[in-house]
Amino acid sequence: MVKHDQIRKLVAEALGTCFLLMTVVGSGIMAENLAGGNEALALLGNTLPTGAILVVLIIWFGPISGAHFNPAVTLAFTLRREISPTDALMYLAMQFSGAVTGVVIAQLMFGLPIIEMSTTVRTGGPQYLSEVVATFGLVGVILGTIQSRPEAVAYVVGLYITAAYWFTASTSFANPAVTFARSFTNSFSGIRFTDSAPFIVAQLLGAMMATLLITWLVQQERITE
């Protein structure tokens, strides 16, 4: 039986991921509408709100659920045995459902079809490598900052994603739930559904690599101290 405290955590994960996708997709639509065909300007208009909302959401929901909003992050904490496999599965269910709901709401806010399958092709080795790197970095900065400056996690994550939008060829999806949900919008932030699976595999690989390395680094730091 799911306890009251678990329900609160699950609702926080669903609501937080929903707001994240509303921001990613909604700002992408708005940016594309206003940029007049300038893709660099549209990307900037998509980047800044995404980085900003991550800071807000982590501060808002962090004390309740830990503010994962990302199956790759949940995987990392599961591997570190800081969340049980059962709780992790429930988190994943809320993250994916919240993400899809966020896309639907964003589509409706801009007068677009509820579900609109993306035709944006995002495939190839450089894209997949980018997702490994992006997710490795995201999980790495979370685990490292939690150890050294836990009060700064929200700001570090927001800044990291803002930067990673621009230094990765994939624009740093770095989140399986986000990737899956973005296949249901044929807007600036979309990804073709058939391209989402390799992205997710790359993201999970990056998350596992970061978990192993950063956990080892932190242990070495403790031994030195």
CATH number at residue 122: 1.20.1080.10
* pLDDT given for residue 222 in this prediction: 53
Q: Which helix (H) or strand (E) holds 14?
A: helix 4-34
* pLDDT given for residue 221 in this prediction: 53
What is the rounded end-to-end Cα distance, in angstroms, of the chain?
A: 43
* pLDDT given for residue 220 in this prediction: 56
- For the chain, the domain total comes to 1
Domain boundaries, position 80: 4-224
- Angle made by CA atoms 12, 18, 21, in degrees to the nearest 5: 140
What per-residue string of b and e applies to 117-126 under the rule 16 or more CB within 10 Å gives b? ebeeebeeee
CA 5 from chain centre, in angstroms, equals 24
How many helices (H) and strands (E) in the chain? 8, 0
Mean pLDDT, contiguous 10-residue spans, the chain (225 residues): 86 98 98 97 98 98 98 98 97 98 98 97 98 98 95 98 98 98 98 98 98 88 51
pTM listed for this prediction:
0.95
- Are 57 and 16 contacting, i.e. CB atoms less than 8 angstroms apart? yes
* pLDDT given for residue 211 in this prediction: 98
- At position 78, the amino acid (one-letter code) is T
